[in-house]
Amino acid sequence: MLRRYVMKALIRNVYVITMDDQDNRYPDGCIAVEGDTIAYVGDEERLPAGFVPDEILDGCGMLALPGFVNTHTHSAMSLFRGYANDIPLMDWLAQKIWPLEDRLQPQDAYWLSMLSIAEMAMSGVTAFADMYMFMDQTAKAVEHSGIRAVLARGLQGPDARSEQRLAENRRLWEEWHGRAGGRIRVMVGPHAIYTCDGDYLKRCMDLAGQLGVGLHIHLAETRTEVEEALKKHGKTPVEYLESIGFFNLPVLAAHCVHLTQRDMDILKEHDVQVAHCPVSNLKLGSGIAQVSRLLEKGINVGLGTDSAASNNSLSVMREMTFAALLGKGINEDPTVIPAKQALKMATVCGAKAIGWSHEIGSLEPGKKADIILVRCDAPHYHPAADPVTHLVYSGRDADVDTVIVNGKVLMRKRQLTTIDLERVYHEVERIRHRVMGGTGDAR
Ligand SMILES: CSC[C@H]1O[C@@H](n2cnc3c(O)ncnc32)[C@H](O)[C@@H]1O
Ligand SMILES: [Zn+2]
């Protein structure tokens, strides 16, 4: 029988930040990769002698880190970047975004997702959680680009198309869950409690239960959402979801800005995973999540950008900086959310939030080789100090030099290897013209 040859790569002369439980670091370390998996992390003297690499990547002047995880986005919304600014969420959605989304065609989502994937990869994101329509197109973009993603069909109902949306989520799971070399997973995506009624939320829960996957939802994003839930159900959004048994399934909850102490206790009790999206929450004027309180309670928090329409960037590095600074600012306490905690949220906690910590989030033998190399020789990394501090407080997207997902190099020396950016720009302009008219300024 023929054995398939497994490619071996060695990243050497690199400052390795593992983000594992021991927080191991190797200032002059190396990482051995066999196929899609990390085989060794540590000092090169201890690298098993039998490891003979096919390829060597020189990491001199760079940090090696687990790839960043974007725990909440809508990648095909890249079309709307810069379109509707400086208005609150509910007006932004109802008056600006939803009418234009009605003009999208399925194939648009491939190119729009590809644009977002390119942007994410170029800022060190190796995995993302997405909720949107036309998800099979996003899945194709994930497959072709080589990135990793957890995809959910955004679900709203009841209305004339709500059953079809559920069927699409089921089909997405049938066709894509575990596919693309294991880089795609599927969740069920009820949009929010203000767009899904109780019966429809239960249909979503049933589907997630049948498929054995979790639910991805927007939760407690604005004060309006909470006030309306109190009026309609006599409960906060979190209390309401608990009352219908929603949290008996694994849940990834985006935003969680407006929470009571009791809400936080409920989230903790049910191990709800939180996607903290500080920049989108600031730009839409939604508020600032009480992340330090969530962390004190032992709730797991990852970082999300939300879409390029409300952020307007898909940089998890930027979210990391904002998360660390906002925590200090709103608590009037500089000890809150130290740099290391922010980096954990961007990596290992993000991986946990999207249900993938068994394979990604840290650099350890046996984990998937999702690795980024970040240049740390520019002026803003000098003088030498703790590189994590430099990364969180002065790091820039453009410092990301190399991106590896599942053992495959997606970007080398800032050149994408799987995405033809010029083609993506061309296709996105074509879509913009059709959907938004010549100028793109449809305001
Ligand atoms: C039904 S597909 C997903 C749906 O979500 C909308 N959306 C984008 N950003 C947000 C946000 O911050 N809060 C709530 N909903 C959001 C998007 O436009 C799609 O319609
Ligand atoms: Zn969102």
Ligand 1 near 341 CB (within 6 A): no
Q: Are residues 329 and 217 in the same domain?
A: yes
Cis peptide before 300 (omega within 30 of 0): no
Residue 442's pLDDT is: 42
Would you tell me how many other CB atoms lie within 10 Å of the CB of residue 116?
31
Domain assignment present for residue 130? The answer is yes
Rg (CA), the chain: 21
Run of H or E including 387: helix 387-394
* 267 and 205 belong to one structural domain: yes
Q: Is the CB of 203 under 6 A from ligand 1?
A: no
73 lines ligand 1 (CB under 6 A): no
User: 191 CA to middle of ligand 2, Å?
Assistant: 8
399 lies in some domain: yes
Tell me if 332 is assigned to some domain.
yes
Q: For residue 179, give the amino acid letter.
A: R
Euclidean distance between CA atoms 151 and 169, whole angstroms: 9
Which residue segment(s) compose the domain that 39 sits in? Answer: 8-66+361-412
- 199 labelled ligand-binding: no
- pTM for this one? 0.98
Q: Report the residue count for the chain.
A: 443
Shared domain for 260 and 127, answered yes or no, is yes
Q: Please indicate whether residue 395, judged by its CB atom, sits closer than 6 Å to ligand 1.
A: no
Rounded CA gap, 170 and 209, in Å?
11
**Longest Cα pair distance anywhere in the chain, in angstroms?**
67
CATH at 387: 2.30.40.10
Residue 220 and residue 254 in one domain:
yes
379 and 408 both lie in a single domain: yes
Instruction: Give the amino acid at 265.
Output: D
Cα 208 to averaged position of ligand 1 atoms, centre (Å):
20
The C-alpha atoms of residue 437 and residue 420 are separated, in whole angstroms, by 25
Contact status, residue 313 vs residue 339, Cβ threshold 8 Å: no
Residue 50 CB-density burial (10 A; 0-12 exposed, 13-18 middle, 19+ buried): exposed
Verify whether ligand 1 is closer than 6 Å to residue 397 (CB atom).
no
Beta 8-17 vs 55-58: how paired, if at all? parallel
Q: Is residue 439 part of a domain?
A: no
* DSSP at 380: G
Nearest-5° Cα angle at 194, 264 to 71? 55
Q: Are residues 35 and 134 in the same domain?
A: no
Q: Which atom of ligand 1 is nearest to the CA of 280?
A: 12
Task: Check whether residue 210 and residue 304 sit in a common domain.
Answer: yes
Return all residues near 3 (Cβ < 8 A) that are at least 6 apart: none
Integer angstrom CA distances of residue 285 from 81, 258, 425: 17, 12, 30
pLDDT for res 184: 99
Residue 141 lies in a domain: yes
Q: Are 84 and 436 in contact (CB under 8 A)?
A: no
pLDDT value for 438: 59
For residues 430 and 352, give the distance between their C-alpha atoms in angstroms, rounded to a whole number.
38
Task: Please check if 233 is assigned to a binding site.
Answer: no
Question: Binding site annotation covers 101?
Answer: yes
Residue 8 alpha carbon to ligand 2 centre in Å: 38
Out of 308, 325, 353, pick the residue that ends a domain: 353
Our count of domains for the chain comes to 2
Is residue 418 one of the residues assigned to a domain? no
Tell me: do 179 and 109 sit in the same domain.
Answer: yes
ipTM attached to this prediction: 0.99
- For residue 417, tell me if it sits in a domain: no
Q: Are residues 195 and 80 in the same domain?
A: yes
419 lies in some domain: no
Burial 298-318 (b: 16+ CB within 10 A, else e): ebbbbbbbbbbbbbbbbbbbb
Ranges of residues in the chain with a pLDDT under 70 are: 1, 438-443
Give yes or no: residues 184 and 196 share one domain: yes
**Do 349 and 283 belong to one domain?**
yes
d(CA 225, CA 228): 5
- CATH of residue 72's domain is 3.20.20.140
Contact (CB, 8 A) for 141 and 76 = no
Residues 58, 75 share a domain: no
Q: What is the pLDDT of residue 3?
A: 77
DSSP codes of every residue in 141-192: HHHHH--EEEEEEEE-BSSTTHHHHHHHHHHHHHHHTTHHHHTEEEEEEE--
Inter-residue contact 264 to 294 (CB < 8 Å)? yes
